[in-house]
Amino acid sequence: MSKNKISINIISSFNHTNFSSLLNNSDNLNWKINPTDYNQVFQTLNNHNLDIWKRKVNITLVWTTPECISPELKKQLNQKKINQKI
C-alpha cells in the first residue's frame, strides 16, 4: 500500500511532541509535520510572515484550551474577579 502524503501545521498551547511522534509512526499515512513552538498560539496565528503560513498544507490544527489563551476566562473559571472592560 502506498502512503498518502499529508502536510499538517500544529499550533498548540502545550508540548505536542508525543502527538507528532504518533503521526510520524503511522503505517497508513505519510505526515509532513510543520510544528510551532508550544504556547505560542496567539503569536503564530497573528503573524502572517511566519514560514508556517508560506507552505502549502492540507491541515492546520490549533490545539488549545480556552483558559490557556484567555487569562480572564481562567480567572472566571477559578471564581476570581475579572476585568469586564476587556
Rounded to a whole number, what is the largest CA-CA distance in the chain?
57
* Amino acid identity at 61: L
**Is residue 56 situated within a structural domain?**
yes
Which tens digit of pLDDT belongs to each residue from 25-80? 988 889 999 989 888 998 999 999 999 999 899 999 999 887 777 788 888 888 88
Backbone angles phi, psi at 31, to 5 degrees: -90, 135
Contact assessment for residue 42 and residue 69, using Cβ atoms and an 8 Å cutoff: yes
Confidence grade of residue 1 (pLDDT, cut at 50, 70, 90): very low
**Is residue 39 situated within a structural domain?**
yes
- Across the range 3-25, mean pLDDT stands at 90
- The grid cell for 26 is 503511522
- How confident is the model at residue 28, as a pLDDT? 86
* Structural domains in the chain (count): 1
**Is residue 82 situated within a structural domain?**
no
Dihedral of the alpha carbons of 27, 7, 21, 26, in degrees to the nearest 10: -10
**Is residue 83 situated within a structural domain?**
no
In order of 14, 33, 69, the CA distances from 55 in angstroms are 23, 11, 25
pLDDT at 12 over 70: yes
**Is residue 84 situated within a structural domain?**
no
